[in-house]
């Protein structure tokens, strides 16, 4: 039986935390999943005290007292992990930051969902083995009603239009990209459009470039419209587990240039030659991000744009929220994905 229909027929509910409790990627994920559950008529609640819970989805971590209460009531606990805190980025504080999520990972979760194979490898590297009976890799998906391609990006007076999106909170998300475009400025007409908040004040100077247009606040619907007006997507992030920004760009049919870090080559397996090499380490270091290599990949894209655009268009339906939601429901029901 289709797990979605079975779930609906049994009139049970899944606990899904309110997306407003999160920021960045986790917030987008919960928002997308809740919208898809609603579209498909799947019962869910953000009330932890609800009496009809069959399962609970925990993005990273949640109140341990509630999780223990759910376990006592026989509720299936499914932890969803993107990545974890690690010493090269978070210093010695990483152990304390990981404490609650590691307890769920080792002792309380019935199943663990990893956003990507890279996410699985990172968690194993830092936390060791999980105590969950079931471990599954499910890639994120985009809402293709919002993110879908046009036949060909429109020509603009600004020349080539590149985009990047996200909550720009760390130096690795801006500096390499800006330094790469600094090297290209004046060689041909272009504009770099940045969509999303710049979280830290010390990153604001990177926006002071004549070729940058920054849109700090933007809805997913507005972002989808904006991405249909650009030629390519550029992304810089150290060890990204499964970036929603990149998945939205893929669903918009855009070629993506970036660094071969984290899950990037997993998501962009069909255009890995547009990813600048970093290292073979699971936990890469920011010092290995070379903006010159990113310049080379941008130039490679421009020299072969029609080829990369055609392939990107072909892959625009690879990662949909419908597929992601169906896979999550199977795990929440304790069925085989």
H/E run at residue 44: strand 44-45
Q: Indicate whether 188 belongs to any domain.
A: yes
Cα–Cα distance, 305 to 7 (Å, whole number): 45
Mean pLDDT of 218-241: 96
The predicted pLDDT at position 9 comes to 43
The predicted pLDDT at position 6 comes to 53
188 and 306 within one domain: yes
175 and 126 within one domain: no
- 231's tokens: 């030629």
168 and 285 within one domain: yes
Q: How many domains does the chain have?
A: 2
Q: Greater confidence, 11 or 45?
A: 45
The predicted pLDDT at position 2 comes to 54
Could you report the per-residue pLDDT of 141-191, keeping only the tens digit for each? 999 999 999 877 777 778 999 999 999 999 999 999 999 999 999 999 999
137 and 198 within one domain: no
Give the pLDDT band (50/70/90) at residue 97: very high
The predicted pLDDT at position 122 comes to 96
126 and 89 within one domain: yes
Could you report the per-residue pLDDT of 256-282, keeping only the tens digit for each? 999 999 999 999 999 999 999 999 999
Q: Indicate whether 230 belongs to any domain.
A: yes
304 and 279 within one domain: yes
Q: Is the pLDDT of residue 136 over 50?
A: yes
CATH of the domain at 97: 3.40.50.2000
Range of the structural domain that residue 24 is part of: 3-141+320-332
Q: Is the pLDDT of residue 28 over 90?
A: no
Mean pLDDT of 210-235: 96
71 and 165 within one domain: no
Query: 77: which strand partners?
Result: 56
Cβ neighbors of 56 (< 8 A, separation 6 or more) are 14, 15, 48, 62, 67, 70, 75, 76, 77, 78
301 and 181 within one domain: yes
327 and 290 within one domain: no
Task: Name which of 112-126, 150-164, 286-300 the model is least confident about.
Answer: 150-164
The predicted pLDDT at position 36 comes to 84
Q: Chain-wide mean pLDDT for the chain?
A: 92
Per the CB < 8 A criterion, the answer to whether 191 and 213 are in contact is: yes
220 and 170 within one domain: yes
Q: Is the pLDDT of residue 27 over 60?
A: yes
91 and 196 within one domain: no
């Amino acid at each position: 039986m289709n797990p979605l229909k079975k779930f609906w027929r049994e009139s049970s509910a899944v606990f899904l935390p309110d997306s407003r409790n999160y920021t960045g990627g986790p917030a987008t994920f919960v928002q997308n999943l809740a919208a898809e559950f609603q579209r498909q008529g799947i019962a869910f609640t953000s009330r932890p005290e609800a009496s009809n819970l069959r399962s609970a989805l925990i993005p990273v971590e949640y109140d341990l007292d509630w999780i223990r209460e759910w376990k006592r009531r026989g509720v299936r606990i499914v932890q969803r992990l993107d990545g974890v805190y690690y010493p090269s980025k978070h210093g010695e504080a990483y152990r304390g930051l990981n404490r609650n999520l590691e307890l769920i990972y080792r002792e309380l979760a019935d199943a663990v969902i990893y956003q990507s194979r890279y996410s699985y490898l990172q968690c194993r590297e830092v936390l060791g083995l999980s105590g969950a009976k079931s471990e599954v890799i499910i890639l994120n998906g985009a809402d293709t009603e919002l993110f879908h391609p046009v036949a060909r990006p429109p020509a603009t007076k600004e020349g080539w239009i590149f985009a990047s999106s996200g909550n720009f909170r760390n130096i690795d998300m801006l500096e390499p990209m800006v330094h790469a475009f600094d090297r290209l400025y004046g060689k041909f007409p272009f504009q770099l459009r940045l969509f999303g908040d710049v979280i830290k004040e010390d990153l604001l100077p990177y926006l002071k470039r004549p070729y940058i247009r920054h849109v700090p606040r933007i809805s997913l619907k507005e972002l989808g419209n904006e991405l249909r007006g650009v030629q390519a997507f550029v992304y810089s992030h150290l060890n990204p587990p499964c970036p929603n920004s990149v998945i939205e760009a893929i669903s918009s049919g855009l070629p993506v240039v970036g660094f071969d870090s984290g899950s990037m080559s997993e998501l962009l397996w069909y255009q890995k030659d547009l990813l600048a090499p970093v290292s073979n380490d699971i936990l890469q270091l920011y010092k290995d991000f070379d903006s010159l290599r990113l310049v080379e990949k941008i130039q490679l894209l421009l020299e072969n744009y029609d080829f990369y655009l055609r392939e990107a268009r072909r892959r625009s339906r690879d990662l949909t929220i419908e597929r992601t939601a169906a896979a999550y429901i199977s795990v929440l029901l304790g069925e085989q994905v």
